[in-house]
Amino acid sequence: MASILVIGSGLGGLLAAVRAADAGHHVVLVTKSVLPESNTRYAQGGIAAALFRDDSVDAHVLDTLRAGAGLCEPAAVRVLCEEGPARVRDLIRFGVDFDRDESGVARGLEAAHSRSRVVHAGGDATGAAVEAALVATVRRRASIDVREHTMLVDLVVDGGIVGGARVLGPDNVQRSVEADAVILATGGAGALYTHTTNPSVATGDGVAAAYRAGADVADLEFYQFHPTALAVPGTPLVSEAVRGEGAVLRNLLADRFMLAEHPDAELAPRDVVARAIARQMERQGGAPVRLDATALGRELLETRFPTITTACRAAGLDWAIEAIPVAPAAHYWMGGVATDTWARTSLPGLFAVGEVARTGAHGANRLASNSLLEAAVFADRAVRALGQPWPAGATRTANRPHPPVEFSASSIHGLPDETAIKLPSADANTLVDRPALQQLLWDLAGVHRSGGGLATAAALLAEWTAPEHTSTSVAALEDRNLLGLGRLLVAAALARKESRGAHYRSDFPEPRPELARSVSQTRHDQPLPPVAAQEAIAC
């Protein structure tokens, strides 16, 4: 029996914890907020899988590769699509009650899918249904020690091997938790941007800690902006499934502008729709575009999309009789901690699953409703790989110690030498301001980018300093992570001198075939001083 530390309580973390417990391991599951709070809980659209007779794994693979804009890892895509149906059936066994119709399990069509293959629960509450079922399953496992209100601070690395993590507990004390293996499942980093569909806990803690520990991260320039968030305070998501059911986008003149943008119109890939909406908003002086779902009828809207209906009502909107205002918002990070097809990172002992990971399954632009699927598939594979020898050559760093370091400079590799840069060191004394950072990234490293804007962003980010790693403030530690991740994202976007998938640069508006490869980033060795008072706890 091994001791396994799982960090994060979305689909990836919960499923990994259950699988590890059922395999006989002792599991400690830590989560920054309460157990049910994660990005998973807010997922609306559903889970894509080749479950139906008129579909196939090969068709799902092709759709995923097409959406990924030439940057997918084919082996990871094949694993995702082949093992996806079995993982959906697992969720059913764990108690997820997917919606049904007269033919059996109901399914929907979403953008860039060639088949209707997206299963959903509670209409547009799929994530909430999945989260609730898995939380209940975790609570029934006596061998899972759940620690809520416990934040990841840094990974503990000795001799190049991850042996636990330093965490900040609810008593505001930092402690080390020892483990034979760590499974990161901390989700994304929507808090990098002013407008996001993510909950406030999505501050990129896992990617930041893994980078500081010496793990490779990759594809951080590829942040997906969901085209249709309701343009009201809180930016609630308006699922892509709404457009799959037939809703259309209109400008302020009521023209359906997507017809001129792409042959698939409203069902074009997300990056295409998001940029088209952003251009329309510029022409309209920043005013949101309108999503017109009135043709669907009140009954369908209220039964199929109860969560969105409630959000509209809370904003004083009735989308059964009027088009609603929508705009893009930061939604999903395709990049993250680089892994192989067994969720293993470049640091032995460290696995990464879900949005924190860059498996290569999404490439430059995630196919709609592949995110929950990826979390389930690779969480299962991570647990199956526990105790197996780390593959030879999987890491450059296994033979030397890597204590955590602060972000200062990033070496970038994977693109030609002329695109590589080094991020300036931040040696000023101005503490990072989160709203200013979010606005800076929204304006200069958001839906539309340019070399000049990104260079300006890099210079401004370099002027801020991060809070101390010894802080006992969750907000301060989050700001530390967001500043470092903002620098890495901007550096990767500067290095990629082309437009591809979710990354668009006005000074390089076309893809360049020779750049169809990943940008990976590694840190320089600069050890942190140890935390003065720590209590080590065995996992």
pLDDT score at 361: 98
**DSSP-derived secondary structure letter, 500:** B
pLDDT digits (tens, 9 = 90+) for 392-433: 655 333 333 333 444 544 566 666 544 444 444 444 579 999
Give the pLDDT band of residue 110 (cuts 50, 70, 90).
confident
> Any idea what the Cα angle at residue 215 is, between residues 330 and 30, rounded to 5°?
70
Is the confidence at residue 439, as pLDDT, over 80? Answer: yes
Q: What CA–CA distance (Å, rounded) separates 309 from 163?
A: 46
pLDDT digits (tens, 9 = 90+) for 20-66: 999 999 999 999 999 999 999 999 889 999 999 999 999 999 999 99
Tell me if 460 is assigned to some domain: yes
Tell me if 275 is assigned to some domain: yes
Shared domain for 324 and 423, answered yes or no, is no
Domain boundary among 280, 314, 329: 329
- The residue whose two tokens read 């979010």 is 438
pLDDT digits (tens, 9 = 90+) for 226-254: 999 999 998 999 998 899 999 999 999 99
Pairing of strands 336-338, 248-250: unpaired
Tokens of 37: 């709070």
**DSSP-derived secondary structure letter, 508:** B
Is the confidence at residue 444, as pLDDT, over 80? Answer: yes
pLDDT digits (tens, 9 = 90+) for 87-107: 999 999 999 999 999 889 999
- The residue whose two tokens read 């969480």 is 379
Tell me if 505 is assigned to some domain: yes
pLDDT digits (tens, 9 = 90+) for 124-136: 999 999 999 999 9
Tell me if 42 is assigned to some domain: no
pLDDT score at 426: 43
Are 452 and 420 in contact, with CB atoms under 8 Å apart? no
Tell me if 82 is assigned to some domain: no
**End-to-end CA separation in angstroms for the chain:** 12
Rounded to an integer, the average pLDDT of 289-297 is 98
Tell me if 313 is assigned to some domain: yes
pLDDT score at 532: 37
Q: 416 or 456: which carries more pLDDT confidence?
A: 456
Tell me if 533 is assigned to some domain: no
Is the confidence at residue 445, as pLDDT, over 60? Answer: yes
Of the residues 270, 344, 381, 496, which is catalytic? 270
Q: What CA–CA distance (Å, rounded) separates 480 from 436?
A: 14
Is the confidence at residue 469, as pLDDT, over 90? Answer: yes
Is the confidence at residue 531, as pLDDT, over 60? Answer: no
Domain boundary among 291, 309, 329: 329
Are 363 and 82 in contact, with CB atoms under 8 Å apart? no
Rounded to an integer, the average pLDDT of 6-17 is 98
Q: Structural domain of residue 491, as residue ranges? A: 406-525
CATH number at residue 253: 3.90.700.10
pLDDT score at 428: 54
Rounded to an integer, the average pLDDT of 195-201 is 94
Percentage of the chain with pLDDT > 90?
A: 85
**DSSP-derived secondary structure letter, 284:** T
Shared domain for 319 and 416, answered yes or no, is no
Tell me if 312 is assigned to some domain: yes
In the annotation, is 270 catalytic?
yes
- CA within 13 Å, CB half, 247: 29
Domain boundary among 310, 329, 348: 329
CATH number at residue 509: 1.20.58.100
Are 64 and 370 in contact, with CB atoms under 8 Å apart? yes
Among candidates 82, 84, 85, which has minimal Cα distance to 58?
82
Total domains in the fold of the chain: 2
